Amino acid sequence: MSSFRTVRIMLSSAVKRITLNPELLSGILIVLVFAGFAVAAPLIAPPEGEDPYMLPKDGWDNVPHPPSPEHPLGTMPDQYDMLYGLVWGTRVAFRVGVIITLGRALIGVLVGVVSGYYGGMLDALMMRATDAFLSFPIVAAVLVMLSVSVDVWELRLGEGDRAIILALILFGWMQYARLVRGNVLVERAKEYVRAAVSIGAGDGRIIFQHIIPNATRGLFVLFASDVGAMVVTVAALTFIGLSGGEPTADWGAMLQTSRDWIIGAPTEAFKYWYTYISPSVAIVSFSIGWSLIGDGLRESLDPRRRKILRRRRSRR
Please answer whether residues 58 and 70 qualify as being in contact, where contact means their C-beta atoms are separated by less than 8 angstroms: yes
Residue 1 has pLDDT above 70, yes or no: no
β-partners of residue 279 are: none
**Average pLDDT of span 135-141:** 82
**Average pLDDT of span 180-209:** 85
Which amino acid is present at 69? P
**Average pLDDT of span 2-18:** 53
Residue 8 has pLDDT above 70, yes or no: no
pLDDT at residue 159 in the model:
47
Bigger pLDDT: 154 vs 116:
116
Residue 233 has pLDDT above 80, yes or no: yes
**Average pLDDT of span 207-214:** 86
Angle, vertex CA 184, rays to CA 180 and CA 188, nearest 5: 180
**Average pLDDT of span 158-184:** 84
**Is domain 13-287 annotated with CATH 1.20.120.420?**
no
pLDDT at residue 17 in the model:
61
Q: Is the dihedral of CA 138, 233, 77, 87 positive or negative?
A: positive
The ranges assigned to domains in the chain are 13-287
C-alpha span between 9 and 21 (Å, rounded): 18
Torsion angle of C-alpha atoms 99, 172, 203, 208, degrees rounded to 10: -30
- Give the pLDDT confidence of 192-202 residue by residue, as tens digits: 888 888 887 78
| Res. 12 pLDDT band, cuts 50 70 90 | low
pLDDT at residue 243 in the model:
67
pLDDT at residue 32 in the model:
95
Residues 6+ apart with CB under 8 A from 207: 113, 117
Collapsing DSSP to helix, strand or coil, 106 comes out as helix
Q: Which of 100, 108, 112 is nearest to 145 (CA)?
A: 100
pLDDT at residue 193 in the model:
83
- For residue 170, the number of C-alpha atoms closer than 13 Å in the C-beta half-sphere is 16
Residue 4 has pLDDT above 60, yes or no: no
Residue 34 has pLDDT above 70, yes or no: yes
Residue 88 has pLDDT above 50, yes or no: yes
pLDDT at residue 150 in the model:
46
Residue 297 has pLDDT above 90, yes or no: no
The percent of residues in the chain predicted with pLDDT above 70, rounded, is: 81
- Give the pLDDT confidence of 237-289 residue by residue, as tens digits: 888 877 655 678 888 888 888 887 877 666 677 788 888 899 999 999 999 99
Q: Where are the alpha helices (DSSP H) in 21-81?
A: 22-39, 41-44
Residue 302 has pLDDT above 70, yes or no: no
pLDDT at residue 22 in the model:
81
C-alpha span between 258 and 256 (Å, rounded): 5
